[in-house]
Structures are given as structure tokens and as C-alpha cells.
Structure 1
């Protein structure tokens, strides 16, 4: 009986041992499967972690780029504002310069208009159709050129009666322009002159100028408007190589022009006004 119980117990033990091995094998297989799944999950997790790190790095780089772009955009905004301000200042400067140029042009136009009116008046007043009398404008200045044969006898500085008729008409125009100056230029040819008390062509050219000025003064021209000038033979119209050319060079020019001081005073006043307005 005792043996039987022992054998039964042993059989039960063996039977129980066999079942445990099967279960163990099954569990071992499941464990392996689970381990494989765990390994696969671990690999995927590590891959995800790497991708996350890469994505984080890219996100950080993108954030830095965005920050740089925002900073650059702010700088561009500042630069654009400064640029716009500079453009406005440049435009204002250009407008000021244009205004200055326009005012100066107006001043010059005014001077040219006065000069043109003077030429017209002189031509109308003198009214002599004579090739020995020329009225023209050179560089904004009015010139009345009169050949010496109408003014003086050869080698003389005494004004002829015919000259006084012409000078009377010139005096009338000059008297109507009290703000103008009248410069009388004497010109000779290059033939040496020496008749006491005059020493040379310089003396002769100046003496002829003062002779005409005295006539104009007798015709009630304000002496303060008159200027005597002699050029001798140093400003010829043509070469002094023929008698005809020497006759052309012997002449008197009456220069009628606005007073230079007044003209430049007008320009200076305009410049000061512009500078005051610019400041």
C-alpha cells in the first residue's frame, strides 16, 4: 500500500512535471515573441527618438532663421524709413535748387527784358539809317558804335556838329533810363599819334571819350551815369592792314548797361532770401 502510494505520488509528480515543461515551452515561446516585439518596439522607439532629435534641431534652426528674418525685417523697416526720409530730403533739396535756379533765371530774364527794351528804344530814338552807326547787344549789354568820321575830324578830338545831332538822340534815351550807366569807349587805329599835348593813341582815345562825355553832359545827362574809357588801338575790329580797315577800327562805342552793382545786389538779395528760406 505504501509502495502503491509512493508510486502514485511519483506518477503524479512525473505527470505534473511533464505539464510544466509544456507550459514552460509555451511561455518561453511567448516570452521570445514578446522579446522580439519589445526589441522591434525599442528599435522603432530609438528611430523615433532620433527623428525627434533631428526634427527638434531643424525646428530650432528654423526658429533661429525666423528670428533672423524678423530682425532683418525690422532692420529693413528702419532702413526703409531712413531711405524714405533721405529721399524726401533729397527731393526737398532738388526743389530748393530748382526754386533758386528759377529765381536767378527770372532775374536774368528781367535783365534781358530791360536790355531788349533799351535796344528797341535806342533804335527808335536814334532812327538813323546809316552804316556808320550800329546798335546791337553783346552778352546782354547794349552797344552803340559810331564811326569816328561822324564824330571827329581826322586826328582831332573836337566833336563835329553832325555828331552832336546823333548824341542828342542818345542823350534822350540815356536820360529816360536814370538807373543805367553810359560808358564811352574811344578806339583808334595803330598809326602812331603824337600831337602835343597828347602823347599817343592812349591819350587820343581817352580825350575823344571825354569830349563826347562833355557833349552828353551839356545835353543834361547825369554825370554820375557817365564813364570815360580809352582803348587805344588794342581792341581792333579788323586787322590794321589797309586804310579801309583802319577806318573801321577808328570808332567810339557808347555802352549802355544797367548798373552792375544794382544787378548783383538783386542777385545777392535773392540768394540770401533762398538761404533764409532753406534754413
Structure 2
């Protein structure tokens, strides 16, 4: 465009220097010049606008590229988070499965303990019923009978068996020992341990040096009475003393000392007889359940 304007100007100047031109030609040249000048200015304006638009587009492109980079970074973070979540979810599922197995195992173990407890309770009941079947209800009232782990414990206070401060059997003891003899005679194959116990009050009398002697002599008196008066086979019986070293209550009170002064008659079935009792004990009817059943 600039080149065309320059040519017109040169041509017009040449005509002016070479000679006179007509007014019509001059007017035409002037009109062409004005048109070219207008076109030039318009082209300059369009060029400026185009450059502005290009600059704006370049800025928008840079922004779009930056947004794209940000989106790529965000996507990468999300992917890493997703991968980590999936990994943790997999581990969590494994942990939950393991926990369920442990709960089920614990549940089965608890049920086993319940069945064992019920079996043990049933066995104890069978033993008490069997060992006391020869006694009436009135006779049972005078005896404190407990069964622990298949062993029968008959506990008697010292004032029920012995003279005060002595190991000699009292006249009152005959009624009690006769009831115990019925139980022992009813099961001739059971072993019998007579165990004496005292409080911690020191004692020193003729032929009695301490509580060890007193507890053992008392147990021996019971064994000999059962043998001599009630015909219990001495091979089945053992006499033992534990002195003051097996208390069931505190020795700091009179009531506690009274409880500690006792004789226990312990009746124990032999292993084969014990197994027979187990067969007599009723089975528990508990059903096994697991967490998966809920």
C-alpha cells in the first residue's frame, strides 16, 4: 500500500515538473491519492486491531495451557489417591476378613467353655447325688458338701468333731461321722483323704507341739474312728494335716478363725470311675453359632 502511494506521488511530481496537466487529471489523481490514504489508514487500524487480537489470543492460549497443566497435575494426584484408597481398601477387606475369623474362633471357644462348664456342673451334680443317695434330707442338712473339678469336699467345723482344744473325738461327732461313713461305704472303691486345718493361734500342750501336730492328730482321730467304729477299709484312707497354712478366711477375727478350724473329708473317684461319671453327665444342648450366622 505504501509503495502504491509513493508511485502516485512520484508520478504527480513528474507531471508537475515535466509540464502542465489538465485540471481533470489533477482532480482524478487527487481523488486517487485521498482514497489510497484512506485505505492506508484503514489498513493501519485493522493491523493494530489484528495485533491486539493476536496478543489476546496468545494470552488466552497461555492461560489454557496453564489450566491444562494444572488439570494434569490434579488428575495425577487423584490417580495416586485412588490407587492408595484401592490399596487400603484391599488391606481393609483382608483385615475385616481376619477379624471375622478371629471372632468366629473366639465364639467357638466361648461355646466350648460353656459346654465344658455345663458338663462340669452336670458331673458335679451326678457325683453329689450318687455320694449322698444313702442320706435323707435331714441328714444332708448337717453336711457342707461341695464338688470341685470332680472331687467331693465335705467340710466339718472343729466343734462338730472334737473336744475343745483337743484332737479327741467328741460324743456329738458320732452322729456326723456315721453319715459320712454311709457315703464312703456306698462307694467302696473311692479314695478318702481326711485333712485337718487350724487357725493361726499358737498351741503348746502335752504331745502337741504346734498347729501342724494338732491338725494331723485330728485327721488321724477321724480316720481311726471311721476304721474302728464304722468298718471303713484303712487302705482307702489317708490322714493329713495342713496346720494354719490353708485358711479360707482371715485369722484377724473370731468368725474367720472359726471357719479356718475345720476338717475336710475329700472323696475322690479313681480315673476309671471318674470316666464312668462323665458318661453319666448329660450333654449340653447348646448349638454352635458363628458371626456368619447373624
How high is the TM-score relative to the length of structure 2?
Answer: 0.64
Conserved? CA contact 1:123–1:135, under 8 Å: no
Q: CA deviation at 1:77?
A: 0.6
Distance across 2 between alignment mates of 1:173 and 1:193: 39
Distance across 1 between alignment mates of 2:252 and 2:101: 57
135 and 39 in structure 1: CA distance in 2 versus 1, 3 angstrom threshold: same
Q: What stretches of structure 1 of length at least 5 have no aligned partner? A: 1-8, 263-279
Distance across 2 between alignment mates of 1:55 and 1:246: 96
Conserved? CA contact 2:124–2:148, under 8 Å: no
60 and 233 in structure 1: CA distance in 2 versus 1, 3 angstrom threshold: closer
Distance across 1 between alignment mates of 2:67 and 2:180: 100
Show the counterpart of 1:110: 119
3-state DSSP class of the match of 2:102?
helix
Does 2:183 align with 1:170?
Answer: yes
Show the counterpart of 2:15: none
Show the counterpart of 2:56: 47
Distance across 1 between alignment mates of 2:26 and 2:146: 142
Does 2:209 align with 1:209?
Answer: no
Conserved? CA contact 2:156–2:262, under 8 Å: yes
Give a deviation string over 1:63-102, Cα, whole Å, max 9, x none.
2211221221111111110111112112222322332333
236 and 69 in structure 1: CA distance in 2 versus 1, 3 angstrom threshold: closer
Conserved? CA contact 1:135–1:142, under 8 Å: no
Distance across 2 between alignment mates of 1:246 and 1:67: 81
Show the counterpart of 2:79: 70
Conserved? CA contact 2:124–2:147, under 8 Å: no
Show the counterpart of 2:209: 199
Q: CA deviation at 1:245?
A: 10
Does 2:39 align with 1:37?
Answer: no
Conserved? CA contact 2:167–2:221, under 8 Å: no
Q: CA deviation at 1:23?
A: 0.7
Give a deviation string over 1:189-236, Cα, whole Å, max 9, x none.
75835333x43442132123234446479635874xx65432446748
RMSD: 4.2
Q: CA deviation at 1:124?
A: 3.8
Q: What stretches of structure 2 of length at least 5 have no aligned partner? A: 1-17, 275-294
Does 2:277 align with 1:254?
Answer: no
82 and 148 in structure 1: CA distance in 2 versus 1, 3 angstrom threshold: closer
246 and 86 in structure 1: CA distance in 2 versus 1, 3 angstrom threshold: closer
3-state DSSP class of the match of 1:186?
strand
Distance across 1 between alignment mates of 2:196 and 2:205: 16
Range moving further from structure 2, 62-71 or 156-165: 156-165
Conserved? CA contact 2:198–2:215, under 8 Å: yes
Q: CA deviation at 1:28?
A: 1.4
Distance across 2 between alignment mates of 1:229 and 1:49: 109
